[in-house]
Amino acid sequence: MNNDTTTPDKLKVREKELKTLEKDFEFERLELNLKLPNIFRILKISKAEIRHSNFLAWLLNPNESHNLRDTFLKHFLLDISVDFDTLNFQDFEIRREWKNIDLIIITSGFVVCIENKVDSQEHSNQLLRYKEIIKESFPKHQQYFVYLTTDGDEPSEVEYQKYSYSQIAETLTHALQLYERRLTSEVKQYIQDYIEILKIEIMKEHELNELALKIYNNHKEALDFIFENKPDLATEFYKYFEKKVKDKGWLIGSPNKGYVRFLTKPLKDILPKLKGWRQMESFSFEIDYFWYNQKQVRFATVIAPGTGSDEDNQVINILDESLNTLSSHNDWKKPQGKKWLVHFRKRWKFDLEEMSEKNDNEIYEAIDKFWHVIESIVSLTEAAILERKDELIELKQKQEAWEK
């Protein structure tokens, strides 16, 4: 939410920035690339979990029409340490949604249970239930369990091996290189489209993601202005999360449409500044209820990247070490990124389209179902960082002295 006071001078600056963005060749290149036909984007199924499972079932089946033979299947089985000498395709079977399990690979000697999560998390003891179903249904088979997620998240059941979509993309790329000449143009295009969708929309590791970040950094003010004036549900729902934050006495931080960022007052008082967000927070709690997935709300603790200077790295290291002391917490995760360090990330169902049909009380009731988890993580994180407050205050004071 933009709190800037709009003046004629600011309007002229914004108009100039928007025109500069319009003329940016890299922006045009990004736009043209995103408009290139991709079957998964055209059908609007790039984040539909069930569609990913269907496509993976097709790829894993060596008897299907893709002509990859067993290359993709064998690489996948080797990744999860399946002990096999030869595969008999006569008794090979893949089941979809059998007893609600996403994918099952069945042979005469072993069975592989795959639970697939694209934009959701496990719930209702799913992994435990599916494990028990497999053990009961295939008692004489060697049993393997796989938890496939966007980032290779840790499963709640120790028997499950974590597996990520980056591994899927890597194996597919390898298979495509091996069998490129064998594939029909249609199959080749499907696989290329799938790899592209994984890298852009699931893994966020495509060159277009880098290009988008570069464009954003070059035209931050213009793009923020566009985001803040985009007609969507983001503005409508901001007020609900903002009120919940303010009711706790927490302080709203850097604005962005679709996000609510905040700090507790004790943290606000001690944290030095870092480049990253508009208000230069070195750390922030972040609620994303719009950009990540309009069917979920995501809460995260985020450390800003800074400039790479020794002083900035000192701040980042202290914050990183502070949050690492909470590694025994169930929701703590080792940061995957190199720039924005995220130690806690939680997601809950929160469908904006469905919520837009509800009244205020019903919306707050939906938020209250997970709000206590946010409160708990905020409290733990605040306490962990405050353990290093003397060092942070000293760095903040040095920073303020330099600015003078």
Q: Cβ atoms within 10 A of the Cβ of 243, count?
A: 14
Q: Is the pTM of this model over 0.75?
A: no
| pLDDT tens, position by position, 79-113 | 888 876 656 666 788 999 899 899 999 988 899 99
72, two tokens: 């993709």
pLDDT for residue 30 is more than 60: no
Long-range contacts of 14-19 (CB under 8 A, 24+ apart): 14/221, 14/222, 14/225, 17/219, 17/221, 17/222, 17/225, 18/222, 18/225, 18/226
pLDDT tens per residue, range 290-303: 876 678 899 999 99
Structure tokens at 379: 């409290």
Q: What is the pLDDT of residue 248?
A: 96
Buried b (16+ CB within 10 A) or exposed e, 283-295: bbbbbbbbebbbe
Residue 135 has pLDDT above 90, yes or no: yes
Question: d(Cα 91, Cα 42) in Å, to the nearest integer?
Answer: 36
pLDDT at 39: 64
